């Protein structure tokens, strides 16, 4: 349960952090879409651990292999199976967690639900699972770009109290990738890097926010009531490890405005209906209006810290847990491609839904 996402463009991820491999099965991708491992690998490289001192130092090549659903460089319309082997498991780093629940991790809740868990690196709850999402998201991104010219760009917009205000209409992936923290405001990026480095040296962790912009999505994608586009985006983002908040358009700041200040006036630009402002974040009534869709996702500090903490063990006895193993001072730089992947999966699914009724 809970391992499949989407209605027409469906993705099931599989595998555990320290199993032989992880991966995803994409079902519902239309036939005749040009696709190869080279289309998927760049996004996996951006998500991979060990890419800088700002993230966990687990060494994984994250090399993807397409096992099915593609023939002679084109999708067949059949399930696409994607496999990514695990290499640098080092399960011994987690031996203490076999008996003790890590604070703010899913150790206790998994035991409470299933009565059994894979303690090696968190098993299914590990951020390692997101490699399958990112691989599947790359397929969705290719579909959106080729058939609808949709572009998705995400970036780190805050690390702790350090914030960067960037134009959602103009940020490019090239600019985002100029620094290891993936913030397109280069001055703020340097501040963020210094902050994360200080946090890492202290054995601590820090959170922040990621902004995502979806450009050139046509008007009409989404649905009213329960399948609102922003509701599906919110579910997608809040399914990511360490995510704790979602806001679209003006978000919570919009509550400080009056209706007169907040409304987005319509006007005609040739034969296209446009809005002069975009406080709605490109979605009105649960349906895209043709403007840029933009939102923010809040990520908590990673729960693994190099500090002794109070906890309980599997026998429900009070004890302490000493911080050890590979330390990740913050999820933010690696979460950028994760956010893009989940956005692509939502938009690809709604694109197929719209095609089904038009």
* Residue located via tokens 């050139």: 216
Strands 80-85 and 65-68, sheet pairing: antiparallel
Q: With contact defined as beta carbons under 8 Å apart, do 264 and 283 qualify?
A: no
In the chain, count H helices and then E strands. 8, 18
- How far is C-alpha 222 from the chain's CA centre? 20
Domains in the chain: boundaries: 4-357
Domain spanning 4-357, CATH class:
alpha beta
pLDDT of 316 reads 95
The residues, any chain, with a CB within 8 Å of residue 246's CB and separated by 6 or more, are 233, 234, 237, 238, 295, 296, 297, 298
Closest by alpha carbon to 352, among 77, 111, 115?
77
pLDDT of 283 reads 98
Q: With contact defined as beta carbons under 8 Å apart, do 334 and 298 qualify?
A: no
Q: What pTM value is reported for the model?
A: 0.94
pLDDT in tens, the chain (358 residues): 799 999 999 999 999 888 889 999 999 999 999 999 999 999 999 998 766 667 765 556 789 999 999 999 999 999 999 999 998 656 556 667 788 999 999 999 999 999 988 887 677 888 899 999 999 999 999 999 999 999 999 999 999 999 998 999 999 999 999 999 999 999 999 999 999 999 999 999 999 999 999 999 999 999 999 999 999 999 999 999 999 999 999 999 999 999 999 999 999 999 999 999 999 999 999 999 999 999 999 999 998 898 999 999 999 999 999 876 666 898 999 999 999 999 999 999 999 999 998 7
């Amino acid at each position: 349960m809970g391992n499949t996402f989407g209605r027409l463009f469906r993705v099931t991820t599989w595998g555990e952090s320290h199993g032989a491999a992880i991966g995803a099965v994409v079902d519902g991708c239309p036939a005749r879409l040009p696709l190869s491992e080279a289309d998927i690998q760049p996004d996996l490289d951006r998500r991979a651990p060990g890419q800088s001192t700002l993230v966990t130092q687990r060494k994984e090549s994250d090399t993807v292999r397409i096992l099915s659903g593609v023939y002679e460089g084109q999708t067949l319309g059949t399930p696409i199976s994607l496999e990514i082997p695990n290499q640098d498991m080092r399960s011994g780093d987690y031996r203490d967690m076999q008996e003790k629940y890590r604070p703010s991790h899913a150790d206790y809740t998994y035991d409470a639900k299933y009565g059994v868990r894979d303690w090696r690196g968190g098993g299914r709850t590990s951020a390692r699972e997101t490699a399958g999402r990112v691989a599947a998201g790359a397929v969705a991104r290719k579909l959106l770009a080729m058939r609808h010219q949709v572009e998705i760009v995400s970036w780190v917009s805050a690390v702790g109290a350090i914030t960067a205000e960037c134009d959602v209409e103009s940020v490019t992936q090239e600019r985002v990738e100029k620094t290891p923290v993936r913030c397109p405001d280069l001055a703020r990026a340097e501040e963020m890097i210094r902050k994360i480095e200080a946090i890492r040296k202290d054995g601590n962790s820090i959170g922040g926010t990621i902004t995502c912009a979806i450009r050139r999505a046509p008007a009409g994608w989404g649905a009213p009531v329960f399948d609102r586009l922003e509701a599906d985006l919110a579910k997608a983002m809040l399914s990511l490890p360490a995510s704790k908040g979602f806001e679209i358009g003006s978000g919570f700041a919009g509550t400080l405005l009056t209706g007169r200040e907040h409304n987005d006036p319509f006007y005609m630009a040739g034969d296209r209906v446009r809005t002069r402002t975009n406080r709605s974040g490109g979605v009105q009534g649960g349906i895209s209006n043709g403007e840029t869709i933009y939102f923010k996702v809040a990520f908590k500090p990673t729960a693994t810290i190099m500090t002794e903490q109070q906890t309980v063990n599997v026998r429900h006895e009070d004890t302490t847990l000493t911080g050890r193993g590979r330390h990740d001072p913050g999820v933010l730089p690696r979460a950028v491609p994760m956010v893009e992947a989940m956005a692509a999966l939502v938009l690809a699914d709604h694109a197929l839904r719209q095609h089904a009724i038009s």
